[in-house]
Structures are given as C-alpha cells and as structure tokens.
Structure 1
C-alpha cells in the first residue's frame, strides 16, 4: 500500500473515553492510496465491546487502548476513496482485521511470518483490529484498506450480512480441521451466539448433520433454537460415559471456560482436537493429564481474515443458512444518531445480555 493521500474526510467518532462514557469527537482522517471510505450503516454489539464499555477489562488494558471507538461487527456503504473494484454507495461488509501487509509500505513479502504465508494470516504481528486498539465502526467515516471492504451479494439481506464477522470467526476456527469434518463426530460447548453460529457454520458450510453434531448448553430455551443439531444439558450429561467425539469446539468463555474445556477433554476420543474460542480474562486450569494420555491437539482461534469473510458470504447466499441465522436477529434495531444514543444502547445490552444480537442502525 502506498502512502500518497488522495483526500481527507471528516468523521464523527463516538469514542469510549472511560467505562460508560462516550464522547463524540471530530476527527479528520486522511485517505491513503489503496484505501476506501466507508459510512457504517448497521452494526451489532459484541461481548468484547461490552467488556470495554463496562470496564471489566484489566485497568492496564483500558489505560492503553482508550480513548477508542468501539464495534467491529458491521456493514456500510462506500462513500470515498479511489477504487476500481467498488462503486460509490455500494454495500460492503467491513473486515475489522487489518493485516500488516495492508498497512505497511514494504508490502506483504517483507512484513511478518503471517504476511509471508509461513503461519496463518490471522496471526500477523503488525495487524490492527477495529475496536481493539484502534477506532472501530462507531464513526461516520471509516477509512480502511480496500481489500477490507467486501461487496455484499444482492441475495444477502443487510440483517444477515451484519453477522458475517461473527460467522467468519467460527468459519476460521474450523478450517484447520476441514479434512476431518466429513466424518468426524463434533461437540460444540456453548448455547450463546458464538456457539450457535459455530454450529451453524458446521452445518451449512461444512455439511455436518445432527447425526454427528451435538451442542452442549446450560439453558434449555436457548438449546431449543439449535434445530439442526442434537442438544444436551451440561448439568444432566454424564461426560465420563458419553459417546466419544473427535472434535470439541469451546464457545463459552468467561467463568464457564474451565468446565467446558475440561468436559470437552473428558469427552474427546484419543487423538482428538479441542478448539478454544471463548475469551476469558483469567487463567483457565485444564486437565493436562488427559490431554497427554489421549494425545489431544489444542489450539485457539479468535480472529478471521479476508478469505474467511469471502467464504462465509458464499455460504450466506443459501436460503437455508439465512433461515438458520434469523433467530439471532433482534425484533427491533436501536437508532444511533449521537453519543447519548450509543451509550443507551450499550447500557441496555450490558444490563440485559439477551440471546439475540443487539443491532445499531446508524443515522449520521
């Protein structure tokens, strides 16, 4: 990417300055060559946003990252920049993971091991991530590298497209075991949105049916939404005598990570894989004895990259996939026109923690 500035845009940026406090700040952003300007139109709130807003991140983390505009799940329209691929007012999904080779002058070949293809491209040491250390989607003009704005196919409604980022994280976590998914028995731990979308991607993107897919959760009303998988209540299931599985995906996070990971280790067959996706602020003790005795493979995954978004958008064009995703869509959206609206939406999401996502309809 070059450094020549093609224009400057004015952005109304809703920055979290301290927990529960959001101020609108006027920011003038330069538009380097190879970048585009996106006007965010629809976004959803992630638990990561709530951890910043509610102040549950560690004080040293908050001190380092604030002030900062939140949000990394969203869509928008192209309103600036010079692009031969994207047209003015075209609808795009926003990729929040900005790989180092897109940001630095030396280009991909001379950046880092991830950019050179030596390790997975979502582990770039020079990357930036919207709403985590750099201003996110809560602003009227977002300036990002052109490849991070992906056109939304006409067959995908906006309310489905806004779920692309969250789906892409699950999609990315499953790619390393793609060659096993044709026959493997799989257990997903977590009855929240991450667990739901991970199970949805297993079903629609990788063809895993309910005969091989089991979801473990703690709330029956949530588990009843998983109509495309078998479901089990963790409180009632005997993991020590349950049918072994080949792959476990942990989607709980927080204080439930410990029990989910260790129940998954108990359930796994020898040589199995455990994929950790849930985020916890604290260290999580795990049963290493069984990990060693069974020869298990453990890895973590929390971010996705451009190719994952492209793969998910292909899957989302299926009507069956759209129907599966609709239960997560809220009955109404929260209009955000000023900082006070944004604070109200965040406080409500923090207080209620509903199963459905919270959508923000930006009116700049």
Structure 2
C-alpha cells in the first residue's frame, strides 16, 4: 500500500515534492501510527529553502510534530493497544548504551537521529515509531493541538528547565515564530512579565500573539527592558533563526542576567562577545526535550493552561503542503498544520 508523502529529496533549494511511498514495515519494538495531524516546523521550512545547518539523510519524509492512532504493534510492545491516541517524541534513533541516554538525556545523544531529517517523518499517512517515544493523548485534546506537543516541549525545556525565571522577572523573547511565542507563554506561566520582540515584517504574528497578554514590540526593546531600574532584562530568550540576535540579547540583558538561546543560526557571529564577560552573563543553550517534559506539556495542553489554538493558522491536506509552507514562510500564519490523505 502506497501513500502520498512530503519528501525532501536533496540539499538543493526547493527540493521538496509529493512522492508515493510504501507503508512502513515495523520492528519488534515499534508501532505503526496512522497520522492524524502533523505540524509544520521552522526546520521543515529551512530544509525546503536549504539554509539549515544540520545533516539530512536524503531523501527523507519531513515532519516531526505529529500525533495519531496506533494501528499495529510490534511483538515486543506492551502497555499499548491498537486504537490508542498518541503523540510521539522526535528521537527516532538513539544509542541505548550512551551515558546520556542512561541519564534520560537522549535528546543530547550525539548519535541521535530525529524524524524528518535522520529518518522518515510523519508528513504522510503512516509512520513507524519506537514505542518508547509514545505518550497518551486524552480524548478531550484534539490532534491538531496535540501535534504541537513537540514545539511546546522545546519551549518548556528552554524556559522552565534551562532558564532561571522567577515570578516578577522581566523576560524578553526575540523572535515571534512558533517557538518564540510558546517560550513567551511558558515564561508567563512562570510568573514573569514578558515582552515578545519582532520586526516590522512580523507585525501580523505579533498581533496574533497579543491574545496571550504579553507585551509585543516591533524593533527596539531596550526601553522596555530597562524600564524598572535601568539595568535590563533578567532573562533574554533568543528564539530567532539567526546568529546576529545574540548581539541584541547581550545589549538587553542585565548584569548577572541570563541569555537562553533556542533558535538556530548557522552564520558566524562577527562581533565581540566581551559584554558576556563584562556583565557576568550566563549564556545557556537549549535543545529538544525528553520524556518527563512531554508529560508536563500534555497536562498543560489538556488543562488549557497552555493554549495553542491562537497560533494555528490553518489545516491543509498533505497534498497542499506547498501552500501550508508558503503561508508560514511569508509570515501570514504562525503555525501550519497538515492532515495526511
């Protein structure tokens, strides 16, 4: 049985197309998932425009933000049954013997291969998933929201786990894409006073972000960051997809403050980071997520303490992937969601 899939087939710009692929054959510890919805990530766009900075195993089916129903179980899979509603983590392949894996930090395993770049992802009807990646989705949580558990987990890891944010702190988030908005929402849940910063071209996305209740700023955030005591923001979360924003973060952060960088940027810095030393600033990277983070995020989504509905700009069939990608790439929508056919 063949299904339509959104395939990234080479490193050349624009090398994404619909191809018919065979239904996956699962292993003893895998499940076969019938995909209900899959979110379009900025990394999918970067592979499409060929300005990414990570290795890709071409050709590969895109998509790592997904949920669906189990339709087949490997013979060694226990505690799951056909028909279960689930979402999946992204670490499709890991080194089981890695010291990092043994600490539960498989997201940092150098041998890790993720869906959508290392192995085939979920922008198709069926995807093979290791059972260890699965999390149960309550009936009350629609799949078009549940499939965004992954970017929410990226934000949770960056803000809750890797940043030291306390109630009353002033937090600046650079970049009003999906991750930026979700990071701002997480900082708000931590009790911070939050500003989300973008460019004039981000005006539409910033307008949508206002529904979350944080301050939105186009351009210079220095007046907001220094409003209370003139020293700057307690934490700056860099969720923009360029390297240059680190210079802005260093200007906005207060002495002994923190910068958490979650956005990728392959460009060289080409500026001095002496301010990092002079201000005694902590610079923290944040990548991916692990099992307990997913459980926390699913609880937040189910309780509606975290609401992703405002950022979903539409649902397209996988055969209309190009429109969904363009809508996000142009900034007309914050998050596109696909529905396999």
TM-score norm. by structure 2 comes to: 0.85
For 1:280, what is the secondary structure of its paired residue?
coil
Please tell me whether the aligned partners of residues 40 and 325 of structure 2 are also in contact (alpha carbons under 8 angstroms): no
Change (3 A) 1:53 1:150: same
- Alignment partner, residue 43 of structure 1: 38
| Separation (CA, whole Å) in 1 of partners of 2:317 and 2:113 | 28
For 1:132, what is the secondary structure of its paired residue?
coil
Aligned counterparts, 1:221-232, within 5 A? 221-224=204-207, 225-226=209-210, 227-232=212-217
Please tell me whether the aligned partners of residues 44 and 358 of structure 1 are also in contact (alpha carbons under 8 angstroms): yes
| Separation (CA, whole Å) in 2 of partners of 1:164 and 1:21 | 25
| Separation (CA, whole Å) in 2 of partners of 1:28 and 1:88 | 17
| Separation (CA, whole Å) in 2 of partners of 1:280 and 1:11 | 34
Q: Does 1:289 align with 2:274?
A: yes
For 2:110, what is the secondary structure of its paired residue?
coil
- Alignment partner, residue 91 of structure 1: 85
| Separation (CA, whole Å) in 1 of partners of 2:329 and 2:172 | 30
Change (3 A) 1:234 1:294: same
Q: Does 1:159 align with 2:151?
A: no
| Separation (CA, whole Å) in 2 of partners of 1:185 and 1:235 | 16
Q: Does 1:263 align with 2:248?
A: yes
Q: String of CA shifts for 1:153-172, please: whole Å, max 9, x gaps.
A: 22322222121111110111
| Separation (CA, whole Å) in 2 of partners of 1:178 and 1:198 | 11
- Alignment partner, residue 218 of structure 1: 199
- Alignment partner, residue 70 of structure 1: 62
| Separation (CA, whole Å) in 2 of partners of 1:216 and 1:133 | 32
Change (3 A) 1:248 1:350: closer
Q: Does 1:192 align with 2:214?
A: no
Deviation larger for 342-351 or 158-167: 342-351
- Structure 1 residue 86, shift from structure 2 partner: 2.1
Q: String of CA shifts for 1:185-207, please: whole Å, max 9, x gaps.
A: 32211222221111112223x3x
- Alignment partner, residue 290 of structure 2: 305
| Separation (CA, whole Å) in 2 of partners of 1:23 and 1:240 | 46
Change (3 A) 1:100 1:11: farther
Q: What is the RMSD computed on CA atoms of the aligned residues? A: 2.7
- Alignment partner, residue 104 of structure 1: none
TM-score norm. by structure 1 comes to: 0.80
Match of 1:327 among 310, 314, 318: 310
Change (3 A) 1:241 1:203: closer
| Separation (CA, whole Å) in 2 of partners of 1:81 and 1:47 | 31
Q: String of CA shifts for 1:286-313, please: whole Å, max 9, x gaps.
A: 5411100111111222312222211111
Q: String of CA shifts for 1:89-139, please: whole Å, max 9, x gaps.
A: 2211121123524xxxxx4xxx2231132x944211221100112111123
- Alignment partner, residue 246 of structure 1: 234
Change (3 A) 1:214 1:23: closer
For 2:195, what is the secondary structure of its paired residue?
strand
- Structure 1 residue 350, shift from structure 2 partner: 6.4
**Unmatched segments (≥5 aa) in structure 2:** none
- Structure 1 residue 221, shift from structure 2 partner: 4.2
Please tell me whether the aligned partners of residues 17 and 68 of structure 1 are also in contact (alpha carbons under 8 angstroms): yes
Number of corresponding residues = 329
For 1:265, what is the secondary structure of its paired residue?
helix
